[in-house]
Amino acid sequence: MPTQIKAVGTTEARKPLEVMDIARRDLQPDDVQFQVLYCGICHSDLHQVHNDFGGSSFPMVPGHEIVGRVTAVGSDVKSFKVGDLAAVGCIVDSCGHCPACRHDLEQFCEGEGGTTLSFNTPDKYMGGMTYGGFSQTYVCKEQYTLHVPESLDLAAAAPLLCAGITVYSPLKHWGAGAGKTVGIVGIGGLGHVAIKIAKAMGAHVVVFTTSASKVEDAKRLGAHEAVLSSDPEQMKAFASKIDIIIDTVSATHEVNAYLNLLAIDGSLVLVGLPAEPLEVGAFNVVKGRRSFSGSNIGGIAETQEMLDFCAEHDIVADIELIKADQINEAFERLEKNDVRYRFVIDMSTLA
């Protein structure tokens, strides 16, 4: 019989979240079950709860930056045992046989039903929709469950399951490393982790921010240089000098100002999700053979690689740890960008 557990969710868009009962599936032979210890709060959780992109289904339990400890495993599970640390990010299933899946790109699954996400996508086992990590337990197929290195601070590691892989994947794909200059646009949940990872990869890191108060904080986080993007003279100094720009901004912004900073064959990679289209001037990409690209999280193998990389370089998110009864307040503050730099819920506080 499915197990009834406590979770925090909502029954309609923009309604405050509240404690509710949900069901987790019976353990399948290839399943890992774990107690949720910590779950990060991502901006996309807020978008889904508000139905900003359309298609949200209710009732909804958000949460896709999930870290916990294994409490049970199915009979066929080989790589986890009870007591191990485990984690789940955005992806909990995919078709497994399409070209994307065969190349460890499950985030781009083209099979029937596409990628199954950790919440708010059709649940193949229980019917209805998947429920996320704002909950006491989680059950996931072994193939999509991640190992958390013991050396990482568990609460601060939770945001790596989305924010970390979202910036690690494009930094790796576009070749960040020694001899490359990487620009980071925006210092928030994604941007502050991108600074740490890009620096650990050996790149020269330049941060662009609209907030004067964050210029010094960018250097504390590891940036070699920080630019106030509202100052034309500071921006001009970096014209045609940046090899890779990771654009983390989810609001409408003037992207051409950053395209003009790219060196020959440079790429601007959008990982933020502005609700409105961005206008790109043709000359800003034609000149210098520049590229305007996008990236979306990463596959399971790459996410595990990212966790191991972060453990090796002692990288975690800067977090504000909250209790379960503070989630609505955290969502309100997140909407105002009032967090440095990621809320994480201590799920032991969900009675």
Is there a single domain that holds both residue 254 and residue 329?
Answer: no
Of 243, 247, 140, 102, the C-alpha closest to 188 is 247
Is there a single domain that holds both residue 158 and residue 197?
Answer: no
The answer to whether position 310 is within a domain reads no
The answer to whether position 309 is within a domain reads no
> Can you give the pLDDT at residue 53?
84
What residue numbers bound the domain in which 279 lies?
Answer: 163-294
Is there a single domain that holds both residue 200 and residue 146?
Answer: no
- Low-confidence stretches of the chain (pLDDT < 70) are none
Is there a single domain that holds both residue 11 and residue 154?
Answer: yes
The CATH number of residue 132's host domain is 3.90.180.10
Per DSSP, the three-state class of 282 is: helix
> Can you give the pLDDT at residue 1?
74
Q: How many domains does the chain have?
A: 2
Is there a single domain that holds both residue 136 and residue 169?
Answer: no
Helix (H) or strand (E) holding 264: strand 262-270
Is there a single domain that holds both residue 15 and residue 154?
Answer: yes
Is there a single domain that holds both residue 107 and residue 210?
Answer: no
> Can you give the pLDDT at residue 253?
94
Is there a single domain that holds both residue 152 and residue 253?
Answer: no
The answer to whether position 311 is within a domain reads no
Is there a single domain that holds both residue 167 and residue 145?
Answer: no
> Can you give the pLDDT at residue 26?
94
- Phi, psi (rounded to 5 degrees) for 3: -95, 130
Is there a single domain that holds both residue 156 and residue 18?
Answer: yes
Is there a single domain that holds both residue 222 and residue 275?
Answer: yes
**Pairing of β 116-117 and β 91-93:** antiparallel
Is there a single domain that holds both residue 11 and residue 94?
Answer: yes
- Phi, psi (rounded to 5 degrees) for 197: -70, -45
> Can you give the pLDDT at residue 54?
87
Beta bridge partners of 226: 207
The CATH number of residue 266's host domain is 3.40.50.720
